[in-house]
Structure 1
Amino acid sequence: MTRLFSVVLVVLTLFAAADVQAQPQTPSGRAVLTGVVTDAETGDPLQDVNVFIAESMTGTATDANGRYRIERVPLGAHRLYVSSIGYESAARNLNLREARVYNVDFALQVTVLEEEGVTVEAERDEKWQERYAKFQRLFIGETPNAKQTEIQNPEVLRFDGGVGSLEAYSVEPLVIINRALGYRVEYFLEEFVATPGRTRYNGEPLFSELEGSVDEREQWAEARRRAFYGSFHHLMLAMLANNIEQHGFKLYMRPSSGGNFGSDSGPLGGGSLISGGQRYPTTVDDIMKDGEVATERVLDFNGVAEVIYLGEKETEAYTTWLNEYASSDAIRRNAPKFQTSQFWLERGPATIDYKGDIVDPYGVTVSGFFAFERVADQVPKEYRPQ
């Protein structure tokens, strides 16, 4: 991500004094996840099944008896994801409130894919190449980090769609090397649909760190910090600490209105860019209430929350993207502004745990700059700036 340098020097100084890990109350202890993964029809245990916490660096594989065990899991909201080639993937949304062992079993259904066979690059036709280029742009992103991010196994992708639309699915997990942030990502893509003005994709990433030189690790540390600051996760942590201005955010409310713009990007997917109605300043206390327990808060509001991040201006690529799909002149940009995003609740109040994670990962929808940054700008959920 490109940053406004003169502003970053000021804002990052504030961040150094602010605690981005502040929370309503931090629970003590860790949880353990255990279970068995079996074939739903035969009941036989399944070996070497991927079991991991979505959007994290924490995962394992089942043993010969189909058993798995994940230790030292932070309490709070997690999405436990299970995937094996030849079976339908499964997931369970968990909210771990006690430091104990949780047993979560899975019975996977056999799936039948119409396998076209793997083709070498020379055999792929021009239409496939065009679709793949579009998929890369919409899925990986168009930020500077995207230029250093590569899908290692594009041959597992299959494409479909009519005029102006694109659908994609993967017969195996996508292996993505992000040399900008220093991550290897296994992305378990479940859905990708792009239509004019709207993109929706759904899937779960598992992160691991790349090996690199001392200089590379220093560059990655700085790039990860830049990717984190101004993100939706950063906003949630700042809201939990009730010091959003110290973190460079300004918060407003708008009445919801029409429009056909945005980008669905998994759990935090965008629908429409909100363009109508007068915005007015609001506070964290106005839209975030106490939860059922001391370690949780609840987002509860009507309309659309709009956030401006003063630590970074919108990029030229974002301005181009915005103007291409904008549904009205009020949305279009003549010059970059500070990053502006929107988020709203489509399923009613959404519970947020002390880590800034949403208990229902599909409970909040985003648009604007939050939706523009895609896979190439994502860091693991447990990441915090040093």
Structure 2
Amino acid sequence: MLLLFAFPAISQPQDIQSVISGMVSDKDSGEPLEDVHVYISYTTSGISTDENGVYSFRTGLSGQFELVFSRIGYETEKRTISLGNDEESLVFNIQLVSKSVVLSQLEVKADNSAWLRDYEEFKREFLGTTIYAADTEITNRWVLNFNRNDSGQLLASASEPLRIENLSLGYELLVELDDFRWNLRDNTGYYRVQVRFEELEPESDRQYRSWTQNRERAYEGSLRHFLKSLYEDNLSRNRFEVVWMNSTQRATIQPIEQNRMIQSLSSNGLDPKLALHGVKGFILKEPVDILIGRRSYIYDNRKRARLVPVRNDKSFFVMPNGNVLDILSLAVTGYWSSYRMADMVPINFEP
């Protein structure tokens, strides 16, 4: 299986706070809109507009990310934003365009056997089949619509954001499904989403401890954990080993020299200012395997993932918290490709 990962480029300084604020209104009437979700995608940072359409929240994140404006019955708006190292205030006054949804059609599809079959296949590929997926549910599944193209791919769209309750990790996810297509014959495909994470309220200390442990387990050995370890030159300490494909022979991922970073970012169409935020670059000349976990003295039972370079110049860039900068720079197969929405923690999560 081949998957592309799309994560914003965000670092996380400890003492810098920026304020994001503004007003959201209906484009046709000009009336303020209440309960618009305004959030930084893939994080827990965000808020909903009040009765006057006003929102304001602080964030300690820094770097390049996507700010999302989402409300049921309206087209979603997005803004790509770069936050610097200085405290600042960003103001975005947004007008949303209304859209019509025929609920009766959705209800008919929700009772249709073909829809139910497609939903089960979608759920398996979207949420995953890991232990965390067993306690994860799409609570408004009726907003989904399915189709199949000439290539036999399963296509999915949603008339409003999906609400996903993950009782294994203690999050509710608000998911904008931008694109989903999956070939069920050879089990390949991809999806693009925008996600807001909201922490659930634990019912007991025991549940809180369980969520804390599961979040750390979900992060441990993940792609972001690997990239953060690569960034910090701590691969061995964190039980990662880079080897040539289908072997145990050690390979290397070459760092880009710091004095070449601005040129490398610019040549790939990326903001060269990100070099000031601590971004590091690497060259991966050919696919390599990543061995994950502790090696047994008796036999090697480590998990194996594969990193595949996508860009022509074989480069990719990593932020300090382990987020890959550019969606088009890396693809993965193997162990990491089994990670789905049910295994996801926010990119501002730190164990």
1:129 is displaced (CA, Å) by: 1.3
Give me the whole-angstrom Cα distance separating, in 1, the residues matched to 2:107 and 2:60.
40
1:205 maps onto 2:192 in alignment? no
Report the counterpart of residue 221 of structure 2 in structure 1. 230
Structure 1 residues 71 and 173, CA, compared in 2 at 3 Å: closer, same or farther? same
| 1:112-143 per-position Cα deviation (integer Å, ceiling 9, x unaligned) | 4455444289x712211111110111100011
Q: Aligned-pair RMSD on alpha carbons? A: 3.3
1:312·1:339 contact (CA, 8 Å) conserved in 2?
A: no
2:11·2:61 contact (CA, 8 Å) conserved in 1?
A: no
Give me the whole-angstrom Cα distance separating, in 1, the residues matched to 2:294 and 2:93.
44
> Larger deviation: 66-75 or 231-240?
66-75
Give me the whole-angstrom Cα distance separating, in 1, the residues matched to 2:332 and 2:316.
13
Report the counterpart of residue 134 of structure 2 in structure 1. 147
| 1:94-118 per-position Cα deviation (integer Å, ceiling 9, x unaligned) | 2211221122343333334455444
Give me the whole-angstrom Cα distance separating, in 2, the residues matched to 1:95 and 1:160.
37
Return the match for 2:156 from 165, 168, 171.
Answer: 168
1:49·1:62 contact (CA, 8 Å) conserved in 2?
A: yes
Give me the whole-angstrom Cα distance separating, in 1, the residues matched to 2:79 and 2:153.
31
Structure 1 residues 104 and 65, CA, compared in 2 at 3 Å: closer, same or farther? same
Give me the whole-angstrom Cα distance separating, in 2, the residues matched to 1:378 and 1:213.
23
Give me the whole-angstrom Cα distance separating, in 2, the residues matched to 1:347 and 1:78.
24
Give me the whole-angstrom Cα distance separating, in 2, the residues matched to 1:253 and 1:102.
46
Alignment of 1:24-173 (within 5 A): 26=13, 28-41=15-28, 43-97=30-84, 98-113=86-101, 115-119=103-107, 124-162=111-149, 164-173=152-161
TM-score, length-normalised on structure 2?
0.78
Identity, % of aligned positions: 26
1:301 is displaced (CA, Å) by: 2.6
> Larger deviation: 96-105 or 157-166?
157-166
TM-score, length-normalised on structure 1?
0.72
What secondary structure does 2:215 align onto?
Answer: helix
2:231·2:280 contact (CA, 8 Å) conserved in 1?
A: no
Alignment of 1:300-379 (within 5 A): 300-301=282-283, 303-311=285-293, 337-346=302-311, 349-360=315-326, 363-379=329-345
> Larger deviation: 153-162 or 221-230?
153-162
Structure 1 residues 312 and 216, CA, compared in 2 at 3 Å: closer, same or farther? farther
Give me the whole-angstrom Cα distance separating, in 2, the residues matched to 1:184 and 1:217.
15
Unaligned runs of 5+ in 2: 1-9, 263-272
Unaligned runs of 5+ in 1: 1-22, 255-274, 314-334
Give me the whole-angstrom Cα distance separating, in 1, the residues matched to 2:257 and 2:305.
18
Structure 1 residues 194 and 287, CA, compared in 2 at 3 Å: closer, same or farther? farther
Amino acid at match of 1:342: L
Amino acid at match of 2:21: T
Structure 1 residues 343 and 296, CA, compared in 2 at 3 Å: closer, same or farther? farther
| 1:64-108 per-position Cα deviation (integer Å, ceiling 9, x unaligned) | 443321113322233211112222212222221122112234333
Structure 1 residues 55 and 35, CA, compared in 2 at 3 Å: closer, same or farther? same
1:80·1:92 contact (CA, 8 Å) conserved in 2?
A: yes
Give me the whole-angstrom Cα distance separating, in 1, the residues matched to 2:254 and 2:285.
15
Give me the whole-angstrom Cα distance separating, in 1, the residues matched to 2:57 and 2:335.
34
1:159 is displaced (CA, Å) by: 1.3
2:45·2:59 contact (CA, 8 Å) conserved in 1?
A: no
What secondary structure does 1:230 align onto?
Answer: coil
Give me the whole-angstrom Cα distance separating, in 1, the residues matched to 2:52 and 2:149.
45
Amino acid at match of 1:203: V
Give me the whole-angstrom Cα distance separating, in 1, the residues matched to 2:350 and 2:87.
22
What secondary structure does 1:217 align onto?
Answer: helix
What secondary structure does 2:234 align onto?
Answer: coil
Residues paired across the two proteins, number? 320
1:251·1:305 contact (CA, 8 Å) conserved in 2?
A: no
Report the counterpart of residue 347 of structure 2 in structure 1. 381
Report the counterpart of residue 180 of structure 2 in structure 1. 192
| 1:9-64 per-position Cα deviation (integer Å, ceiling 9, x unaligned) | xxxxxxxxxxxxxx999574121112233444555543321111111112111234
1:360 is displaced (CA, Å) by: 4.2
Give me the whole-angstrom Cα distance separating, in 1, the residues matched to 2:11 and 2:31.
44
2:291·2:302 contact (CA, 8 Å) conserved in 1?
A: no
1:347·1:363 contact (CA, 8 Å) conserved in 2?
A: no
Give me the whole-angstrom Cα distance separating, in 2, the residues matched to 1:140 and 1:295.
33
1:28·1:99 contact (CA, 8 Å) conserved in 2?
A: no
Give me the whole-angstrom Cα distance separating, in 2, the residues matched to 1:253 and 1:298.
23
1:247 maps onto 2:238 in alignment? yes
1:24·1:241 contact (CA, 8 Å) conserved in 2?
A: no
Give me the whole-angstrom Cα distance separating, in 2, the residues matched to 1:362 and 1:250.
24
Report the counterpart of residue 282 of structure 1 in structure 2. 252
Structure 1 residues 312 and 58, CA, compared in 2 at 3 Å: closer, same or farther? farther
> Larger deviation: 83-92 or 100-109?
100-109
1:234 is displaced (CA, Å) by: 0.9
Give me the whole-angstrom Cα distance separating, in 1, the residues matched to 2:349 and 2:11.
19
1:230·1:309 contact (CA, 8 Å) conserved in 2?
A: no
1:363 is displaced (CA, Å) by: 4.8
Give me the whole-angstrom Cα distance separating, in 1, the residues matched to 2:213 and 2:321.
22
